[in-house]
Structure 1
Amino acid sequence: MSINFVTDKVKVRVNGRVATVEMNRPEALNALDLEMIKGLVSKLKEISESDDIDVIVLTGNGRAFSAGGDIKTMLSDLSETEFFPVMDCISELVITLYSIPKLTISAVNGAAAGLGLSLALAADYIIADSKSKLAMNFIGIGLIPDGGAHYFLEKKLGELKAKQVIWDGKMMSAAEALELGLIQEVTDNLQESLEARISDWLKRPVQAMIKTKKILADSNRPQLLKILELEKQGQLKMRRTFDHQEGIRAFIEKRTPKFIGK
């Protein structure tokens, strides 16, 4: 049986034991604004309560998984009282996806950049289309990664490689991300590979797999929460720097930024 839930910015399709959660702002390359973030949290929590669903697929509608945080939020001059609730919503989304008692897959099509990549990394398994591009590119506008990226990158790559990825901020091909250890699978047919992975998982003792996930997530939760808090405080400071303002101006003007280290 298939059941469909649709909101403006998040679509959920349930087919048997699998729920597909689709970011739905294709005209904005699924950039994450506050409404979408809240919608994702709401739908994930709703799915977590269902005993009938074992696997969640997170993906994006259209040409991208997610191009990152919404540029309007970056451009706005938010005060602490306005900025912190936005960051807290991001933290809630990441913790919810990371800890949810289901097996999760990020199916990456097109770009997964900035906060979009942070979100993808919170899943248990990442499959990327061979033509997709991934980037932890906050540095280009004078910001630090958020969405728990420091935690996920350090866990996956180790401290030295994590810093390199963050500081370089370069766009990686799916093959480069696989070689680095950032993702688990690259494919020329995303849907076919996704179905194969789900079929394999559903033939296994899924509840034992989920219990292992829960044990590790419960153990790691304090560290992830600490990183999310540090990212929130750090990001506020970075938004006040000259380099961030210059990075945003350069982005809008489509030119290379001239950073001064302040």
Structure 2
Amino acid sequence: MIQPVIVTYAGRVATVELNRPESMNAMNGDMLSEMVCKLKELNSDDSIDIVILKGNGKAFSSGGDIKWMLNGTGDFKNVMDCINELVTTLYCMPKLTISAIHGAAAGLGLSIALATDYTIAKEGSKLAMNFIGIGLIPDGGAHFFLERRLGEVRAKELIWEGKVMSPAEALEKNLINEIAEDLDLSVEKKVQEWLSKPVQAMIKTKKILAERNRPLLLKILELEKYGQDKMRTTEDHKEGITAFVEKRKPNFTGK
């Protein structure tokens, strides 16, 4: 059986690799629950100081697995609870975290990247908060992360547009920290820079800020959970999903 998440170790560094390359690492229930499990294991591993999040194959992650959701194989409440636990664990974990983006980082995939401390995107990659295209709202804490990075007005604008962004556009909006010509080389450079510093002091700063912000993140995750449930019953969502499957432009009516 193929493992949906693979963890490898190199000294004080662990790499968490999303491993559903055939679906551009679209996240289904198995991948989400496995990510929570692996991140919690790393949480309590005192030998690890830095965690790298990356995707196998052609993309970082294309977001939630729409085909899996259409099959109705997952309980919505449990899936959203799993997403919320994943994001909270990643944002608050006592490690320094890096997202290494190549190919696509869309929807939930981008939300999870935003939960890390430092994000590097390879030239030519594509980033999108594109829930609006299927009549949904962002989840995975996106409202929290986008508002903090862009401010309320710009966050709403980005969410409502749902446009695909180049790394240069994402960097200009403060969604990523760095653009890389060679992703592996840039990630390694950042890792070595951090390893040469007093990492425990850096982690303590992270923990102080994360604990301060944690109540708001948890509140927004709950609001996203109930908001998403409501949106799933709308005619626009059904039309958005149908149009996605039929590979055509949706005809939204505001219902």
Q: Which amino acid aligns with 2:157?
A: Q
Compute the TM-score of the two structures, normalised by the length of structure 2.
Answer: 0.98
**Structure 2 regions of 5+ residues with no counterpart?**
none
Task: Pick the aligned partner of 1:56 from 46, 51, 55.
Answer: 51
Q: Describe the shift of the 1:7–1:209 C-alpha distance in structure 2 as closer, same or farther (beyond 3 A).
A: farther
C-alpha distance in 1 between matches for 2:149 and 2:73: 32
Report the 3-state secondary structure (helix = DSSP H, G, I; strand = E; otherwise coil) of the residue aligned with 2:127: strand
The corresponding residue for 1:47 is: 42
Q: Describe the shift of the 1:63–1:78 C-alpha distance in structure 2 as closer, same or farther (beyond 3 A).
A: closer
Compute the TM-score of the two structures, normalised by the length of structure 1.
Answer: 0.95
The corresponding residue for 1:168 is: 161
Q: Which amino acid aligns with 1:180?
A: K
C-alpha distance in 2 between matches for 1:245 and 1:74: 12
The corresponding residue for 2:141 is: 148
Report the 3-state secondary structure (helix = DSSP H, G, I; strand = E; otherwise coil) of the residue aligned with 2:15: strand
Report the 3-state secondary structure (helix = DSSP H, G, I; strand = E; otherwise coil) of the residue aligned with 1:175: helix
C-alpha distance in 2 between matches for 1:221 and 1:234: 20
C-alpha distance in 1 between matches for 2:147 and 2:68: 27
The corresponding residue for 1:242 is: 235
1:32 maps to 2:11: no
C-alpha distance in 1 between matches for 2:17 and 2:117: 17
Task: Pick the aligned partner of 1:180 from 149, 169, 173.
Answer: 173
Report the 3-state secondary structure (helix = DSSP H, G, I; strand = E; otherwise coil) of the residue aligned with 2:250: coil
- Give a deviation string over 1:187-246, Cα, whole Å, max 9, x none: 110011000000000011100000000001100000000000000000001000000000
Task: Pick the aligned partner of 2:213 from 196, 206, 220.
Answer: 220
Task: Pick the aligned partner of 1:71 from 55, 66, 73.
Answer: 66
- Give a deviation string over 1:76-98, Cα, whole Å, max 9, x none: 4589xx31111000000000000
Q: Which amino acid aligns with 1:145?
A: P
The corresponding residue for 1:252 is: 245
**Structure 1 regions of 5+ residues with no counterpart?**
1-5
The corresponding residue for 1:3 is: none
The corresponding residue for 1:200 is: 193
Structure 1 residue ranges, 4+ long, deviating more than 6 angstroms after superposition = none
Displacement of 1:75: 1.9
How many residue pairs end up in the alignment?
A: 255
C-alpha distance in 2 between matches for 1:20 and 1:131: 22
Report the 3-state secondary structure (helix = DSSP H, G, I; strand = E; otherwise coil) of the residue aligned with 1:53: coil
Q: Which amino acid aligns with 1:99?
A: C
C-alpha distance in 2 between matches for 1:90 and 1:37: 7
C-alpha distance in 2 between matches for 1:46 and 1:185: 28
User: How much identity, in percent, do the aligned residues show?
Assistant: 64
Q: Which amino acid aligns with 1:166?
A: I
C-alpha distance in 1 between matches for 2:11 and 2:73: 43
